[in-house]
Structure 1
């Protein structure tokens, strides 16, 4: 055996799984096709939204609570500022489906929140140009995660705990045997007791057929704008936001460089043939819709994209993650398919994956993310 556990892919989730595994054993190896935090993976783009308010399955809430504590632990362990705690806004039509669904989930999970009328929003957050029937829900525990810092800090912390990191090594195959899992890259191979697959948009080639059929790689694009007055969009004055108002939707984060503000169309992930060949330039239609939306939503931003990029991520058919062993007898653990929404809970997901893959603890109540849900499809 070359180790108890291998983690394939050290991006959003894999870096956290490696860090958490290193707290449980000194016999863990992480494999990365490039280098941790590289800008071509789903880690790219400087920031991701952390929020405790969301619409959907209430059972995510305990993972968010644990993730919030783990982000603080990673900051303490690394000495890095990873989560900018600036609060968050969910903005939408008063009687529309978005706000209604968000408040229903919040009612069930008990997340702390504050409902803001249009007038209250205009007073507290005048950066947002609201429609007459808009309102907002404020999340006091939300913020902006610094993605590159988070990933590199987690990998460094894992190495300090004794983990081994193998970079510039793309894994070609994984094969279960009676004794373990053989991991192959070119002419080299290693054998581990168990393996976590956390390689995002590159995960499909390492999956069984039933999961290949239930997943696809999609392209996510991001865009940034220059503020007319950067101080108005600083973290102290401009929370992270998601806005779904009628026919327009956008999410974004405050300025972390003192100049530009991230403002990106929501829910525009489109299928792409391969993670290695994601078109980085925005199309004319993407540019037009993005600038039109910014022109309406944010008078304080110049309505011209000054920076944009695109990244791959793996999406599942039901937009819920793959987190768990492939079956009851498998030694291969999937931690992928986060469908463009995984980073806020990456630290919590990493803890679950590491603990379960090493046989230290099993987490109940997670049937909605277990891979076996797709076996009969």
Structure 2
């Protein structure tokens, strides 16, 4: 006898979605969360994450993004929550630089909807952005801002409504495969499940085999917010999400969700941190200086003073692609972690894949670049 068909360890961005999707397939699924879903120190902190269909490299992501977009709508319908603010998105960069040409190449391969905006068109439509003379933009009509806390809590609540059991404030100490299944221990308690999904983000390493520990690293992601001179100019109906890589400066952000502050954060600044539990929350003087200098140039409509900042842990792989799959052909342990700071937009799609594959309901092709086995040495 086991305590269930599936345990999901970690109910953050991917785990919450895997739990929700698994609850649609069986009423014998149990979620374990070390604190509570969407707790203040989890990788989903910071109000919003970007959803976009346009990106550079790895065309295989596009079907996952398409499915994720549909699933975000399903979660909204099922929960009655507004989760994806559909405000469009802008990718901004130098005409002949490393970003825009690569993004357009991938976009055309995928056949994704897009519109190229000249510097003049941007000045007319989105004057909030101060572009350099050689900058252009690519508009994504299907992009938007995901409300992370709402998404995670809605998915967990939907799973519970479907019959899933959730153990909060229950950190998992170990998982061990036996002839009977997978033993999950927390303190002096233990359970046995037919299958287990590990989706603990920055806390996943201690539950991994050595070859995956060596291929992953916990990093600190920091976020920053600014007050708008005129908040209406930065509302979702007038200010799309954005990613900008212009010469030596890069930044991404989202429209105001509180009617006052605007998220604008340096891109690609994740720094290694020893432990997910001890991420320094305060920005360094260098981070503050670069952030305010970039905002001063990019956004004249924002007061160039950081009014809010925070930092969160996430798990990164060596190649920047997630770990999605079983540890081996006969393993009952499934990894859904290591999303390298960019996984939330696809969390619903990743969660569906993880739930189906971990339960043996369906396998998905074309995901070799995500499988953990790529890090095995032969």
Distance in 2, matches of 1:68 and 1:107, equals 19
Partner of 2:133: 132
Distance in 2, matches of 1:113 and 1:327, equals 40
Aligned ranges 1:1-377 → 2 under 5 Å: 1-376=2-377
Instruction: Encode CA deviations 1:242-273: one digit per residue, 9 max, x unaligned.
Output: 00000000000000000000000000000000
Distance in 1, matches of 2:232 and 2:76, equals 26
Distance in 1, matches of 2:130 and 2:40, equals 32
Distance in 1, matches of 2:344 and 2:25, equals 22
Runs of 4 or more, structure 1, over 3 Å off, are: none
Please tell me the root mean square deviation across aligned C-alpha atoms, in Å: 0.5
Distance in 2, matches of 1:126 and 1:360, equals 50
Instruction: Encode CA deviations 1:152-172: one digit per residue, 9 max, x unaligned.
Output: 000000000000000000000
Distance in 2, matches of 1:213 and 1:141, equals 37
Q: CA deviation at 1:97?
A: 1.3
Report the 3-state secondary structure (helix = DSSP H, G, I; strand = E; otherwise coil) of the residue aligned with 2:296.
helix
Q: CA deviation at 1:148?
A: 0.1
Aligned residues: 377
Report the 3-state secondary structure (helix = DSSP H, G, I; strand = E; otherwise coil) of the residue aligned with 2:60.
helix
Report the 3-state secondary structure (helix = DSSP H, G, I; strand = E; otherwise coil) of the residue aligned with 1:119.
helix
Report the 3-state secondary structure (helix = DSSP H, G, I; strand = E; otherwise coil) of the residue aligned with 1:13.
helix
Distance in 2, matches of 1:106 and 1:331, equals 37
Distance in 2, matches of 1:315 and 1:144, equals 22
Distance in 2, matches of 1:330 and 1:318, equals 23
**TM-score, length of structure 1 as denominator length:** 1.00
Report the 3-state secondary structure (helix = DSSP H, G, I; strand = E; otherwise coil) of the residue aligned with 1:306.
strand
Gaps of 5+ in 1: none
Distance in 1, matches of 2:360 and 2:112, equals 31
Report the 3-state secondary structure (helix = DSSP H, G, I; strand = E; otherwise coil) of the residue aligned with 1:344.
helix
Distance in 2, matches of 1:228 and 1:174, equals 52
Report the 3-state secondary structure (helix = DSSP H, G, I; strand = E; otherwise coil) of the residue aligned with 2:66.
helix
Report the 3-state secondary structure (helix = DSSP H, G, I; strand = E; otherwise coil) of the residue aligned with 1:292.
helix
Distance in 2, matches of 1:134 and 1:259, equals 28
Q: CA deviation at 1:29?
A: 0.1
**TM-score, length of structure 2 as denominator length:** 0.99
Report the 3-state secondary structure (helix = DSSP H, G, I; strand = E; otherwise coil) of the residue aligned with 2:13.
coil
Distance in 2, matches of 1:367 and 1:43, equals 26
Report the 3-state secondary structure (helix = DSSP H, G, I; strand = E; otherwise coil) of the residue aligned with 1:58.
coil
Report the 3-state secondary structure (helix = DSSP H, G, I; strand = E; otherwise coil) of the residue aligned with 1:149.
helix
Report the 3-state secondary structure (helix = DSSP H, G, I; strand = E; otherwise coil) of the residue aligned with 2:349.
helix
Q: CA deviation at 1:308?
A: 0.2
